Structure 1
Amino acid sequence: MNKETGEPEKPREPGLRDRKKQRTRQTLSDAAIALFLERGFDQVPVADVAAAADVSKPTLFRYFPTKEDLALHRIADHQGEAARVVSNRPPGQSPLDALRAHFHARLDARDPVTGLNDDATVRAFNDLLYSTPSLLARLVQYSNHDRDALAEALERTGGADELTAKLASAQIITIHQTLAHENWRKLTSGRTTDEALPEAHADADRAYDLLATGLARL
């Protein structure tokens, strides 16, 4: 949020060097995910990923510190999303209302991060994610970053004290993860996204109603 105008700040466009790095990271991640989906995450050594992308292992590790990061790069653009929603919400809108509206919008858009997407490739990736313990463990670290960023945004723009912001952000991020997992379970049971969408919206409302009951001061 721009402090002078009160308008949401526009993200800065990356420079040429950053765009080249982004393309390289995307190429490496795409090569890795293709192998993971074909053979299974635990059956693919990092050396095979490097060979498929035609880079050395040291080069690969400069872009991705861990093997798990190669897979989770697919959701990297959602890092800090909840904090951005809170920071850039319109004047007069509460943090919870902004986050609720955003989650509903992502459901309608069939955003893969909500778990409600039955594209074959997205389904295969989510199946890989939710069935691989090391990926789920690494996802927790990603979630911790989201939790801390959201807590800072709630404290800075929502008027919450530090502890309340931390408690609230922990609950909100956990709810988003739980809803995404439940939506994935709906699809694995054989339902289509169109069939599961009304219940997914109802689940989201139930979750945010519970949050509002306990977090009414935000």
Structure 2
Amino acid sequence: MTGLRQQHRQRVHEAISEAAISLFLERGFDEVPVTEVAAAARVSKPTLFKYFPTKEDLVLHRIADHQGEAARVVRGRAAGETHLEALRRHFLDGLARHEPVTGLNDNPAVVAYYRLVFSTPSLATRVFQYMAVDESALAEALAESTDRLTAELLAAQAMATQRVLARRSWEALAAGRPIAEVEPEAVRAAELAFSLLGAGHTPG
């Protein structure tokens, strides 16, 4: 029963999210009331808020699913691998898989999704809040094997680096450039960015 209940919850969660994002993309985040999203997903407004505490969560849960990822990468790095080597490897692997979070994904729905996020002030603000939480978690992970100041500085720089890289790739794809052309540029940019970080960091 527990498994069936979890499957049901997941289906409801996905139905609400899909209905919300579809409506937001069609008419704009601020133009669609939560009651309309609930009606489209065939759930009550109280049920919707059980799954998504705020209107912004209807959109940003896809990004929230990656929260703490950088900290997990650092803690799970291979023996002899430095913090930055692990973060660099993880980001480059994401580019190779065209992970949406790297910005390098030309699926029209993904491109439209990020356009919605970046063009809606309340969503963009919440993204920066998520990033602040991620930065703090990464600093905690780094502080386990280096001093606190170094950990905080590196966490801030690493998160900013990944944000800039992802935004550059998304903007290139949103402008209509083919992914085959953008991908090698994204890889070179990532290599350069992490080498710049490494130039001022003592391996840990």
Provide the TM-score with structure 1 as the length reference: 0.87
Note the C-alpha offset of 1:69.
0.9
Note the C-alpha offset of 1:97.
0.3
Query: Is the 2:83–2:203 Cα contact (8 Å) retained in structure 1?
Result: no
Equivalent residue, structure 1, for 2:147: 161
Equivalent residue, structure 1, for 2:35: 47
Equivalent residue, structure 2, for 1:4: none
Secondary structure of the structure 1 residue equivalent to 2:129? helix
Give yes or no for the alignment of 1:92 onto 2:80: yes
Q: CA RMSD in A?
A: 1.7
Give yes or no for the alignment of 1:203 onto 2:202: no
* Distance 1:20-1:169 versus aligned 2 partners, 3 A rule: farther
Q: How does 1:28-43 map to 2 (within 5 A)?
A: 28-43=16-31
Separation in 2, partners of 1:69, 1:117: 22
Q: What are the Cα deviations for residues 79-121 of structure 1, in whole angstroms up to 9, with x where unaligned?
A: 1111111111111101100110111111111111111111111
Note the C-alpha offset of 1:170.
1.3
Query: Is the 2:100–2:110 Cα contact (8 Å) retained in structure 1?
Result: yes
Separation in 1, partners of 2:6, 2:73: 24
Q: What are the Cα deviations for residues 5-44 of structure 1, in whole angstroms up to 9, with x where unaligned?
A: xxxxxxxxx9665554444322221111111111111111
- Give the aligned residue type for 1:53: A
Q: How does 1:4-83 map to 2 (within 5 A)?
A: 18-83=6-71
* Distance 1:23-1:153 versus aligned 2 partners, 3 A rule: farther
- Give the aligned residue type for 2:155: S
Equivalent residue, structure 1, for 2:120: 132
Q: Runs of 5+ in structure 1 lacking a partner?
A: 1-13
Aligned residues: 203
Equivalent residue, structure 1, for 2:133: 145
- Give the aligned residue type for 1:123: V
Note the C-alpha offset of 1:197.
0.7
Query: Is the 1:100–1:208 Cα contact (8 Å) retained in structure 2?
Result: yes
Query: Is the 2:82–2:203 Cα contact (8 Å) retained in structure 1?
Result: no
Separation in 2, partners of 1:206, 1:16: 48
* Distance 1:54-1:105 versus aligned 2 partners, 3 A rule: same
Q: What are the Cα deviations for residues 160-201 of structure 1, in whole angstroms up to 9, with x where unaligned?
A: 122221221111111111111111111122211111011101
Q: How does 1:106-125 map to 2 (within 5 A)?
A: 106-125=94-113
Equivalent residue, structure 2, for 1:191: 177
Q: Percent identity?
A: 55
Q: Runs of 5+ in structure 2 lacking a partner?
A: none
Equivalent residue, structure 1, for 2:198: 212
